[in-house]
Structure 1
Amino acid sequence: MPSERAEVQVRPGVEGDLAALTAIYNHYIRETAITFDTEIFTPEERRPWLLSHPEDGPHRLMVATDAGSQEILGYATSSPFRARPAYATSVETSVYVARHASEGGTPRRRGVGTALYDALFKALAGQQVHRAYAGIAQPNDASTRLHLRFGFRYVGTYREVGHKFGRYWDVAWYEKDLG
């Protein structure tokens, strides 16, 4: 019997994915403190974000799909860490998994986040990227476990750096050596 993980395929994101990727992100905006955006987006408003992640170079967008249905299960990105030129060899990474692919029973075990990060870091191999950084709003044990599994190490916490849903949130920062 094939494993659940074999049912997940990962590929570069394309413009046709925009509506589904926006819907996934909007869930996190509305329902969680995982992102500090507070207003939902239309796909058209997210288009510049998608276009800033080409199929080559250090800023990537990888999309996980169900191998059978091609339904989008989540995405991972590597984005500029900071705008100043000396930061060009560093990226900030993130993973967003569709709610239906991450809650309850068997779908949780599909390894969507793992498949996405595995593909993202393979795509970044050979690029001019020295370090990857990830900020994880706390608490988020699943994201922390994923990042530790991929060799990220904890470097510090920004205390009460974000305010959403009437409270302050900490962000723990992790880094990974890429080269």
Structure 2
Amino acid sequence: MSPEYREVQVRAATEADLGSLTDLYNHYVRETPITFDTEPCTPEQRRSWLLSHPEDGPHRLLVARDRTYRSLLGYVTSTPFRIKPAYATSVEVSVYCAREVVGRGVGTLLYKALFEALADEDVHRAYAGIALPNEASVRLHTRFGFRHVGTYGEVGRKFGRYWDVAWYEKRLD
């Protein structure tokens, strides 16, 4: 991690983080194909998403904040992979970093904290969908032991074009 971000606190998200979380996410909605949401959202629209991630259990939302400046550096989530009961031991994971810290180790720090938190949970597999191209995300997931299991061709349309999504899998137990 870069020296300027050594004073980072990773913790469970709270309602006090909602505005910052929404702002960070909306950057990716407006500027990138990383998420397939196409319209920015308000904090009120994101509240139920935040509340669906308790402090414990397999579905987490962790934030990284700079202790000195108290700014949101990024967040990581584990969410239900699919809604049917047999999928309960699988999660989908995502990590989002503030644009000014991309490539500076914040994503690594967040994934490390998430996988440590999930180690005591009844979770068997983690899955990540990566809109392509996104070499930085592919490298991050590969570094954490994810392996490519397939690619959906032109599965999403945003910014007037179609995007492929590569799917990665990690064994957790």
Q: How high is the TM-score relative to the length of structure 2?
A: 0.96
Partner of 2:117 in structure 1? 123
1:151 aligns with 2:145: yes
User: What residue ranges of structure 1 are gaps of 5+ in the alignment?
Assistant: 103-107
Alpha-carbon separation, structure 2, partners of 1:70 and 1:11:
13
Q: Which residue of 2 aligns with 1:76?
A: 76
Provide the identity percentage.
Answer: 70
2:94 maps to: 94
Unaligned 5+ residue runs, structure 2?
none
Write out per-residue CA displacement over residues 57-77 of structure 1, whole angstroms, 9 at most, x where no aligned residue: 000001001121121111000
* CA-to-aligned-CA distance 1:121-154 (integer Å, 9 cap, x gap): 0010110100000000000011111101111011
Structure 1 runs, 4 residues or longer, greater than 3 Å off = 2-5
After superposition, give the CA deviation of every residue in 1:80-120 in whole Å (9 maximum; x if it has no partner): 00011100000000000012222xxxxx42x1000000000
Count of residues in correspondence between the two structures: 172
Pair 1:15-2:15 in alignment = yes
Match of 2:85 in 1: 85
Secondary structure of 2:68's aligned partner: coil
Instruction: Return 128-137 or 65-74, whichever deviates more.
Output: 65-74
Aligned runs of 1:132-151 on 2, under 5 Å? 132-151=126-145
Letter of the 2:149 counterpart? V
Structure 1 vs Structure 2 CA RMSD: 1.2
SS at match of 1:173: strand
Query: How far is 1:4 from its partner?
Result: 4.3
> How far 1:5 moved relative to its partner?
5.0
In structure 1, C-alpha distance between the alignment counterparts of 2:134 and 2:25, rounded to whole Å: 16
Q: TM-score, normalised on structure 1? A: 0.93
SS in 2 for 1:54: coil
The equivalent residue for 2:30 is 30
1:40 aligns with 2:40: yes
Cα pair 1:8 1:115 within 8 Å, conserved: no
What residue identity is the alignment partner of 1:143?
S
Moved more, 7-16 or 51-60: 7-16
Match for residue 162 of structure 2?
A: 168
Contact 2:9-2:65 within 8 A present in 1 as well: yes
